[in-house]
Amino acid sequence: MANRAATFCPICKSEAKPLDRTGDAEGFDCPPHKRFKVTGSVFATRRDTTREEWEAALKRATLRANPDSWPVIQTTDF
């Protein structure tokens, strides 16, 4: 069995469990931030994003998400 590289939450940098990908969205299961996904375009364009900006983006994505699905952070959340 191959070792998986450690996955870290893009918001708080703590170790997170990776979730299955949906399209280009990468999923994270972070103890403080729960389960959420981030689109590939966010990782491609938001390199110098502060924790506060990430927190606000997750809040916006959570408000937009359906109750039975995980929030997906998109570029428009920043």
**Number of residues written out for the chain:** 78
| Residue 25 confidence (pLDDT) | 96
Q: Does any domain span residue 5?
A: no
The pLDDT score that the predictor gives to residue 1 is 43
Q: What is the pLDDT of residue 19?
A: 94
Are the C-beta atoms of residues 37 and 73 closer than 8 Å to each other?
yes
Domain that holds residue 23: 17-77
In a domain, 10, yes or no: no
Question: How high is the pLDDT of residue 4?
Answer: 59
> How many separate domains does the chain show?
1
Task: State which amino acid sits at residue 43.
Answer: F
Q: pLDDT of the chain along its 78 residues, tens only?
A: 444 567 999 999 999 999 988 899 999 999 999 999 999 999 999 989 999 999 999 999 999 999 999 999 999 999
State the DSSP string of 4-37. PPP-B-TTT--B-EEEEEETTEEEEEETTTEEEE
Q: Does residue 37 lie in a domain region?
A: yes
Inside any domain, residue 7? no
